[in-house]
Amino acid sequence: MNINWEQQTVVLTGAYGGLGRELAAQIYQKGGKLILLGRNQQRLRELQDSLGAGVDIFVGDVSDSENNQQLLHMLQTEASPQRMLINNAAINPTGFLQSHKADEIKQVLDINLLAPILLSQQLLPWLKQAQSAQIINIGSSFGAIGYPGFSSYCASKFGLRGFTQALGRELSDSVVRTQYLAPRAMATGINSEAVDHLNHQLKNAVDAPAEVAQQILKAIEKKQAEKFFGWPEKLFIKINALLPNVVSKAIRKDQSTIKSLLNNEVKP
C-alpha cells in the first residue's frame, strides 16, 4: 500500500532536536497526524504550537517500559489506517573510550539502541492493527563504519541496523515493514564543538537537517529497507564491508587530527 500522509499517524521520538523538528514540520506539511515524544515538556509544547492543529505530545523517557505502556494506551484512540513509528532520538558524546565513564556509555546504548527496541516491541500491537505500518529507525553512516572517537555511538548504530534487519524479517508476514535510514554528518546540536572542528579540518560534508529530512521522507515513501545518504560516505560503507583494512588505512592518515580533537582520556 502506498503512503497517504493524510491517513497516517506518526509517532516521532527526539522530536525537538534538529532533525526531529524538520521531520515533524515536513510530515505536518504533508498532512500527517503527529504524536511528538520527548522528555522536555516545554520544548515539546513550543514545537506543537509552532505546527498547529493535529499535533499531540507525549512527555517521557522512551526507554521506560511503564512510560511506553501509557503511550500505547493513549494510541488506542488513534485509528488511522496507516501508522508509523520513527525512532529518531539519539545522543552522541564523542571521545575515545577511556574518556567516558561507565554510566555515560550505558546512556548512549539506552537511548540509541535499547529505547528503539523496547518502544518498537510495545507499539507493535497498535502498529499491527493498521492496514499498513512502518517502523523507521534513524541510523548513521557510523552504523556501518567504525570510527575512532565514536565507539559507543557506532556500537549503538551498528546494533540498531542489525535490529532493524532482524525485526523486518520477523514481521515479513505482517502489515509492518522496517527501514533503517542513515544520514551522514548533520549540522545539529548533537555535535560537540570538537566534532564541528573535526569535520571542518577533515573537510567532511555536513548536511542541513531540512535536506536530510526531505531525503528520509522520500525513502520512507519508497519503503526502502535500508538506505545510506551522502557521497562519498556510501562508497566508504561498501568498501568497509568488503575491504575494511583499506578504510582503516585511510582513517589512520587522519589519526593525529582525530586524537588532538577527540582523545581526552580520563587519567587514573
Residues classed as catalytic: 153
CB atoms within 10 A of CB 179: 23
Nearest to 116 by CA among 90, 144, 140: 90
Residue 86 — φ and ψ, nearest 5°? -110, 110
Amino acid at site 75 = L
Which residues on adjacent β-strands are paired with residue 39? Answer: none
Give me the sign of the Cα torsion angle 90, 81, 64, 161. Answer: negative
- Which residues does 77 contact at the CB level (< 8 Å), separation at least 6? none
Q: Which three cell numbers stand for residue 257?
A: 587530527
In three-state secondary structure terms, 259 is helix
